[in-house]
Amino acid sequence: MTTRRRLLALAATAALLPAAASATAPPAPAPALSADDQALVDKAVAYLQGLAEAKGRFVQTDGRGPPTTGELFLKRPGKARFAYDPPSGLLVVSDGGRVIVQDKRLNTFTAYPLSATPLSLFLAKTIRLDKGVQVARVTRAADGFTVVARDGKRETAGQIAISFADAPMRLVAWAVTDAQGHVTQVRISDLEKTSGLDPALFVLKNPNTRAPDPGRAGL
């Protein structure tokens, strides 16, 4: 999987990266939600809004290889860290302005504007699922519910399904379907609210950038 697809898979928000765009016709407008469905969407937004700082574990699967695991940290607004367990060598950090993807095995370091990624909605100061996002449907399960959403402007193919559990209310998974129909699922365990996360978790410097040589200053 490419690093850009991994970044897409980490999007716990109802939006898709521009990379998911397709030449196919955009989906038809979604039907209006029932009052009960809208109540669940509002419940999901309220929960996400209250998730100021959190940490947990994740398992990512995409049907193309073995599952990958890792640890996640969230600090709204703007900051997140997804640290994949060895041997992956992948680290994804949002520092408040950029989303940075570092792959130690490939020695790559790539940055995207946070505003151009799905994480921008999830990490926003105010969570919105009614602006630039179209909730296609809400499905119910015995122990929770799932909100399925897509690009509200219908310029991007694909969708994301965000799953929540009840009693207590918690985020448990999300699944991203891209324009080609490939599905990447991220399941979360042990997610808990916390406080006082180390600011260094959300700082990632390019190891390939050499520091200035003090002896050459002023040349």
pLDDT averaged over the chain?
79
Q: What is the mean pLDDT of residues 188-203?
A: 94
In this prediction, residue 128 has a pLDDT band, given cuts at 50, 70 and 90, of: confident
Let me know if residue 124 belongs to a domain. Answer: yes
Report the pLDDT value the prediction gives residue 12, as an integer from 0 to 100: 34
CA angle 92, 96, 102 (to 5 degrees): 20
Instruction: Give pLDDT, residue 176.
Output: 82
Asked whether the beta carbons of 104 and 91 are under 8 A apart, the reply is yes
How many residues make up the chain in this entry? 219
Task: Give the residue, 133 or 143, on which the prediction is more confident.
Answer: 143
Query: Residues 51-77: what's their mean pLDDT?
Result: 91
In a domain, 11, yes or no: yes
Q: How many domains does the chain divide into?
A: 1
31/29 Cα distance (integer angstroms) = 7
Query: Stretch 23-47: mean pLDDT, rounded?
Result: 78
Note whether residue 214 is domain-resident: no
Greater confidence (24 vs 51) lies with: 51
User: Do 17 and 120 contact (CB within 8 A), yes or no?
Assistant: no
pLDDT the model gives residue 171: 92
Neighbours of 75 (CB within 10 A): 24
Residue 200 lies in a domain: no
Rounded Cα distance, 34 and 32, in Å: 7
Q: What is the pLDDT of residues 80-124, one digit of tens each?
A: 999 999 998 899 999 999 989 999 888 889 998 887 776 776 788
Read off φ and ψ for residue 7, nearest 5 degrees: -65, -40
- Domain span at residue 190 reads 3-18+30-195
Q: Is residue 209 part of a domain?
A: no
pLDDT at 175: 85
**With pLDDT > 70 as the criterion, what percentage of the chain qualifies?**
75
What pLDDT is recorded for position 202?
95
Element of type H or E holding 38: helix 35-49
Q: Is residue 205 part of a domain?
A: no
27 pLDDT band, cuts 50/70/90, is: low
Q: What is the pLDDT of residue 47?
A: 92
CA distances to 103, 121, 125 from 111, rounded to whole Å, are 12, 18, 21
Cα–Cα distance measured from residue 134 to residue 150, given in angstroms and rounded to the nearest whole number: 5
Residue 145 has pLDDT above 80, yes or no: yes
The yes-or-no verdict on residue 54 having pLDDT over 70 is yes
DSSP 19: G
CATH code for the domain of 155:
2.50.20.10
CB atoms within 10 A of CB 31: 9
Is the confidence at residue 218, as pLDDT, over 80? no
Supply the pTM of this predicted model. Answer: 0.76
Has residue 73 been placed in a domain?
yes
Q: Residue 151 falls within a domain, yes or no?
A: yes
38, pLDDT greater than 90: yes
